[in-house]
Amino acid sequence: MNESQVGQADGELSLGWRLLLASAFGVGFGSIGFVTYSIGAFIDPLGREFGWTRTQVQGAIAFGVGLGGFFAPIVGYMIDRYGGRTIALWGLVGVAVGYLMAGASQGSLSFFYLAYAAVALLGAGSGPVSWTRAVANHFHERRGLALALTLSGTGMAAIFVPPYTVYVVENYGWRVGYIALALLPMIALALAALFFFPDRSSRGRMAAVDERTLTGFTLREAVRSFRFWLLLASILTMYIGITGIVPNLIPALTDKGFTPAAAASIQSGYGISLIIARLGIGWLLDRFWGPGVAAVTLTSPVIACLILMGEPSYAAAMLASVLVGAAAGAELDLLAYFAARYFGLRNYGRIYGLLYTGVALGAGLGPISFAYLSQISGSYTASFQVALGLFAFGGVSILFMGRYPQGHVGSNARRT
């Protein structure tokens, strides 16, 4: 970058910080952000009151995460057609309604699952596609870092939500716990309403859009591109591996002799590294060829799998958790960045939304398949072996994305 471009890039961040703050909270406390991180606090209390097994309670994740992801293409279409502001704000209200429904459960597992389905369906507009569309549309020179800051909201949720939920549930009961969860999207709603969240129809100073950002592929053209399917395959395999390891990490470590407290502290390294990696990846994407950055980051959990297949020390297990967190932090950032960089912004919502189904499918398949594999094999070793192969494929395959297309976006990331 020359001096004028650096000044323009810095100006983007100084003018757009309100949008970034609102979007980070929207991602963290939206329909996808904290379903997985909060469910653990409710497993035993619901089991004691209603006799539900742990597997039955965790089945709600499939409705709250997996189902919502499959509606992302529809949300993307609506955002491209009508703009994102109203859709995102009503989506946050929908998330709150879903959690209030869960708190009103009276012993019917079907109603409990329906409540989490409401989080996914009524809250679909609050998913990452809404927030990343607005951020990608506003930022050009610092798009990678801006998307990283936005998506670090999931890391914020990973650190804050578990202790917050456990504290409320232990001191006030699980029903109040769900009310406490319903407050979180309303905080995000207040920030998004207070701090101007631009959409395509807005005319505020932050909504001034360069014509470059409105060019790009149609959905049909994107789907016909080998890059679309390559990116989808990488996302799917990476998320099966990541979400397969994370919820099973504590039982895997306790099987190796760690105390539950030590295992939980090791898992905390995941959330911290997720945020750090996300910000670091954003900085790198603005300066270097994205697939090269992605390949290094996404293959690093191969080392984590090798560590976890053995008998690791506390420090080695922490390193493994950090490496998985780094890949998790990079993956969503890379998805948003590559969707904009390779396919443009004209139909970003639809294209990103369709790609996001890979995240949803992986998040739904990973925990269940890894737990089942460990059950039939008698240990988690086979699960880590499968994860190793998934990470190797997902990380290396991204190198075949090739050069950035010319003329779709205004980023100055280095071409190869």
pLDDT digits (tens, 9 = 90+) for 271-288: 788 888 877 887 788 788
Do the Cβ atoms of 323 and 272 come closer than 8 Å? no
Q: What is the pLDDT of residues 395-405, one digit of tens each?
A: 999 999 988 88
Q: What is the pLDDT of residues 141-178, one digit of tens each?
A: 777 788 878 888 887 887 788 788 888 988 999 999 99
Q: Is the pLDDT of residue 349 over 70?
A: yes
Return the DSSP state at 2: -
Instruction: Decide which of 295 and 348 is more confident.
Output: 295
pLDDT of residue 387: 93
Return the DSSP state at 292: H
Q: What is the pLDDT of residues 65-95, one digit of tens each?
A: 767 667 777 777 777 777 677 788 888 999 9
Lowest mean pLDDT among 99-103, 136-140, 232-236, 307-311: 136-140
Q: Degrees (nearest 5) of the Cα angle 211, 199, 23?
A: 115
Q: Which band of pLDDT confidence, cut at 50, 70 and 90, is reported for residue 15? A: low
Instruction: Decide which of 385 and 200 is more confident.
Output: 385
Report residue 383 as tokens.
């699960």
How far is the C-alpha of 201 from the C-alpha of 31, rounded, in Å?
24
User: What average pLDDT does the chain have?
Assistant: 80
Is the overall model pTM greater than 0.85, yes or no? no
Q: Is the pLDDT of residue 50 over 80?
A: yes
| Residues whose CB is less than 8 angstroms from the CB of residue 322 and which lie 6 or more positions away in sequence, other chains included | 269, 270, 272, 273
